[in-house]
Amino acid sequence: MQNLKLVGTAVTRPEAVGGLFTLEDGGDWQLADGIPTDAAVQAITPHPSRPDVVYAATRKGVFRSTDGARRWHRLQVTDEPVQFWTVVVHPQQPDVLFAGTAPVGFHRSDDGGETWRQCRADYPERFKISFGASRVMRIAFHPTDPRVMYAIAEINGFLISEDGGETWRGEHEGILALSQLPHLKSKLETDDDAEGMFDAHSVCTTTADPDAVFYICRLGIFVSHDRGKHFRDLEVGKQAPFSYTRDCRFVPGAPRKLYACFSISSRSNAGALYVSDDLGDNWRRADAAVTPRSTMMGFGAHVTDPNGIITVTRGGQIFYTTDGARSWTEKQLPANAGDAFCGAIL
């Protein structure tokens, strides 16, 4: 582990910096070379098998570093005026990348990012929202079936591909059924009280239960074993003081261990990182030693060492651990940084 920390921010107020900040042990936050300060970094993806390669999805394109996040350059993905909100590396094919956009769309590279082609996404907007088009926030792979991939769109629900990412369609049946339950009705941006269940933030899978797909939205965490036709509510709100869920991931080398960051709402004065050792059935707080003072927007786990985790809050509090959450270090971003959305630890 290099103990290099990376945090992506967005331009969320006048004069704020929406770029990539880096931190080395004993140093201060520095802006990464090659990513504009108004790019709005939404996802940071270290390559799982190439330690010096890191990707960043921004609202101004996809960027790549080949020297351990020191210098970056923009990849030519498309000439279309789209924003990029996620980029992922195929777990079995290290040269295959997928990037998700706003409006909802998918792009694929088979050569590590040198060339790209657009995949087909038959997915009309379900809601009209005030903060722009729906966006692909996360992409996940079925652990054993290379044909099956999953994605989520904020604020447009669950998508599936059954041909290795070439074509995508919405799968709404299971989400709609949940949205009819009284305690899962929620509307903030629209007049449709199914909105809350479609306000998706993350999706993940694990080799410990290959057919399970975990769907994360502002109302909690839900799991399906039939590709989204039915979901079970993990009822995280019964074990945590709040259930607004922004991010959820399994850590490398621990396929039953699931981390999630919970808060009160998109903009709030509290947040926390929780952990489950049994695929989400039971939860406990992982960062009880720290006090986040705003919504925890995301976190990153080291790609080979499960002891390395970094969490980010809207207000710029950054927490990281290198000993599996036994102890934490806090490092506040500079005052001019925009809201923090994502983090990674190398």
Which pLDDT belongs to residue 130?
A: 73
Which pLDDT belongs to residue 243?
A: 86
Domain ranges of the chain: 5-345
The DSSP call for residue 43 is E
Both tokens assigned to 237: 């709100």
| Cα distance between residue 151 and residue 26, in whole Å | 38
Which pLDDT belongs to residue 191?
A: 83
pLDDT confidence tier of residue 3, bands split at 50, 70 and 90: confident
Fold of 5-345: Methylamine Dehydrogenase; Chain H (2.130.10)
Task: Return the minimum-mean-pLDDT range out of 22-36, 188-202, 296-310.
Answer: 188-202
The distance of Cα 222 from the centroid of its chain, to the nearest Å, equals: 16
| Cα distance between residue 205 and residue 200, in whole Å | 15
Q: Of 3, 33, 7, give the one whose Cα is nearest residue 332.
A: 7
pTM of the model: 0.96
From residue 250, alpha-carbon distances to 137, 218, 235, 304 in Å are 17, 19, 18, 12
Amino acid at 206: T
pLDDT digits over 152-182, tens only?
Answer: 999 889 999 999 999 999 999 999 999 999 9
Residue 245 region by backbone torsions, left for phi larger than 0, else alpha for psi between -120 and 50, else beta: beta
Q: β-strands 167-170, 120-122: how paired?
A: parallel
299 contacts 319 by C-beta, under 8 angstroms: no
pLDDT confidence tier of residue 212, bands split at 50, 70 and 90: very high
163 contacts 204 by C-beta, under 8 angstroms: no
196 contacts 219 by C-beta, under 8 angstroms: yes
> Which positions ≥6 away from 45 have C-beta within 8 Å?
54, 55, 56, 57, 86, 87, 88, 89, 344
Written as one string, the DSSP assignment of 187-229 is -SSSS-TTHHHHBEEEEE--TTSTT-EEEEETTEEEEESSTTS
Please work out, in degrees rounded to the nearest 5, the angle formed at the alpha carbon of residue 32 by the alpha carbons of 287 and 302.
35
Which pLDDT belongs to residue 1?
A: 66
| Cα distance between residue 144 and residue 211, in whole Å | 9
309 contacts 325 by C-beta, under 8 angstroms: yes
pLDDT digits over 43-80, tens only?
Answer: 999 999 999 999 999 999 999 999 999 999 999 999 99
Amino acid at 17: V
| Cα distance between residue 86 and residue 56, in whole Å | 8
pLDDT digits over 266-280, tens only?
Answer: 999 999 999 999 999
pLDDT digits over 136-158, tens only?
Answer: 999 999 999 999 999 999 988 99
Which pLDDT belongs to residue 29?
A: 97
Mean per-residue pLDDT over the chain, rounded:
94
> How large is the average pLDDT for residues 190-207?
93
**Cβ–Cβ contacts within 10 Å for residue 60, how many?**
15
pLDDT confidence tier of residue 124, bands split at 50, 70 and 90: confident
